[in-house]
C-alpha cells in the first residue's frame, strides 16, 4: 500500500523512530543476512525507541511540573472526575502512538502526577483513536466506518477511564508515591530543577528496564515471524462470529495504525463485513503482548488480565453489533 494517506499528518515521534532504526541497523551491520539479524535489529530499534520516549516524556513532564507547579495538572489530568477523564481522552486522540509506545507515556503521566482515571483513558485512546487510524479506516472503508470507529473508540476510552479502578488499573506503590510527591511540589527554577528532572526520568526508566527489554523482544518476535491475520481472516472472515476471531488475532499483535494498512485494505477488498474489519483494527492498535509486559510492571498481572478481557469484550461486541446492523440494512434494502 502507498504511504500517501499519511501526507499532511505530522508524526511528532518520527525523528525518534528514524534514529532508533539507524541504531538498530548499525549495531547488527556486522551480521550476515538472516532471520536472527532481522530479529535483533527490530529488538534494538524498538527498545531504543521506547526508552527514548520514556526518558524524553518523563523529563519534559517533570520539568514542566517543577517550573509551573501542579495547578495546571490539578485542573486537567490531575482531576479524577469527568473533566479529568475527558482531558485524558483529548490528550490520547492527539498523540498518535502504537500500543507498545503508549506504555512509557502512560508511565510518565502517572509518575508526573496524573490521576489514574485520566491516565487510563489516555492509555486506551492514544493507540486506538488517533489521526493515522482514522484516516486509514476512512480510505479503506469510507467515512461512515471512520465515523463509527472514532465515535466508538472515544466511548471505549471514556469507559476505560471511568471504570479504571474496576479494571485493576491501579498503579503500583512507587507510582502512587511519585504522584503524591508531584502534587506537593511548588513552582521552582534553576539548574537544580533540570538535574532533578533528569534523575527522576532515569529512576523511572530503571524501574521499568526489564519490562522494556522483554516488551521489545516480544514485539520483535511478532513482527519478524509474519504473524499476520490476512490469510486466516480471508478464509473465515465472512462467518457470523468472525469478529471474535478478529479480536483474538489482533489483540496480541504489535501493530500501529500506519502498519495496519497492509492488513486492513486487502481484507476490505475481499469483502469482509465492516464490523469484522473495525474489530480487527481496534484490537491491533489498542493492545499487544509487548504493551502487557510493560504494564505488568505498573499495575500487575491482575490489571493486565482485566484490561485484556475488557479490550476483547469491547472489540468483539462492537464488531458483532456493526455486522448485525449492516446485515439488517442489507435485508431492508432488498
How does pLDDT run across 99-119, given as a tens digit for each residue? 777 888 888 888 777 888 999
Q: Indicate the number of domains in the chain.
A: 1
Alpha helices for the chain (secondary structure H):
14-27, 35-68, 71-74, 82-93, 99-112, 116-128, 131-141, 143-162, 173-184, 191-207, 209-224, 230-236, 242-250, 261-269, 274-286, 289-333
Walking along the chain (334 residues) 10 residues at a time, the average pLDDT comes out as: 42 81 92 86 89 83 66 72 90 78 82 85 87 76 83 92 90 61 53 80 79 78 65 83 90 72 76 87 84 86 91 92 76 56
3-state secondary structure of 231: helix
- Tell me how many degrees the CA angle 48-51-54 measures, rounded to the nearest 5: 150
Domain coverage including residue 124: 4-333
In residues, how long is the chain? 334
pLDDT for the residue numbered 225: 63
Using N-to-C axis directions, what is the helix angle for 82-93 and 143-162, rounded to 10°? 140
Residues 298 and 212: beta-carbon distance below 8 Å = no
pTM value is 0.75
pLDDT tens for 234-262 read: 888 888 899 999 998 888 877 766 667 66
What is the rounded distance in angstroms from the CA atom of residue 318 to the CA atom of residue 279?
7
Cα within 13 Å of Cα(174), Cβ side = 12
Q: Which three cell numbers stand for residue 248?
A: 483474538
Q: What angle do CA 107, 278, 220 make, to 5 degrees?
A: 50
pLDDT at 105: 82
pLDDT value for 129: 84
Residue 305, helix vs strand vs coil: helix
Eight-class DSSP state of 31: S
Amino acid at each position: 500500500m502507498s504511504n500517501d494517506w499519511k501526507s499532511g499528518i505530522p508524526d511528532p515521534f518520527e525523528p525518534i523512530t528514524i534514529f532508533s532504526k539507524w541504531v538498530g541497523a548499525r549495531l547488527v551491520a556486522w551480521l550476515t543476512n538472516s532471520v536472527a539479524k532481522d530479529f535483533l535489529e527490530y529488538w534494538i530499534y524498538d527498545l531504543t525507541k521506547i526508552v527514548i520516549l520514556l526518558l524524553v516524556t518523563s523529563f519534559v513532564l517533570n520539568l514542566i511540573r517543577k517550573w509551573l507547579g501542579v495547578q495546571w495538572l490539578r485542573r486537567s489530568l490531575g482531576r479524577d472526575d469527568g473533566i479529568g477523564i475527558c482531558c485524558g481522552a483529548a490528550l490520547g486522540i492527539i498523540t498518535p502512538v502504537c500500543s507498545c509506545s503508549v506504555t512509557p507515556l502512560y508511565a510518565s503521566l502517572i509518575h508526573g502526577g496524573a490521576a489514574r482515571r485520566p491516565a487510563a483513558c489516555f492509555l486506551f485512546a492514544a493507540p486506538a483513536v488517533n489521526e493515522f487510524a482514522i484516516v486509514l479506516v476512512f480510505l479503506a472503508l469510507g467515512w461512515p466506518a471512520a465515523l463509527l470507529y472514532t465515535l466508538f473508540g472515544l466511548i471505549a476510552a471514556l469507559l476505560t477511564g471511568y471504570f479504571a479502578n474496576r479494571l485493576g488499573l491501579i498503579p503500583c506503590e512507587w507510582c502512587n508515591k511519585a504522584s503524591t510527591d508531584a502534587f506537593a511540589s511548588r513552582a521552582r527554577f534553576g539548574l537544580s530543577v533540570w538535574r532533578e528532572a533528569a534523575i527522576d526520568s532515569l529512576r523511572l526508566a530503571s524501574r521499568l528496564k526489564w519490562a522494556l527489554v522483554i516488551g521489545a523482544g516480544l514485539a520483535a518476535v511478532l513482527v519478524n515471524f509474519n504473524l499476520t491475520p490476512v490469510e486466516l481472516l480471508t478464509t473465515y472472515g465472512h462467518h457470523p462470529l468472525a469478529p471474535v476471531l478478529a479480536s483474538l488475532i489482533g489483540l496480541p499483535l504489535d501493530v500501529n495504525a500506519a502498519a495496519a494498512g497492509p492488513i486492513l485494505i486487502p481484507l476490505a477488498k475481499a469483502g469482509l463485513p465492516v464490523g469484522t474489519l473495525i474489530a480487527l483494527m481496534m484490537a491491533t492498535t489498542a493492545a499487544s503482548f509487548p504493551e502487557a509486559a510493560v504494564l505488568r510492571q505498573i499495575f500487575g498481572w491482575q490489571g493486565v488480565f482485566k484490561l485484556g478481557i475488557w479490550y476483547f469484550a469491547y472489540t468483539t461486541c462492537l464488531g458483532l453489533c456493526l455486522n448485525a446492523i449492516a446485515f439488517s440494512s442489507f435485508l431492508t434494502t432488498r
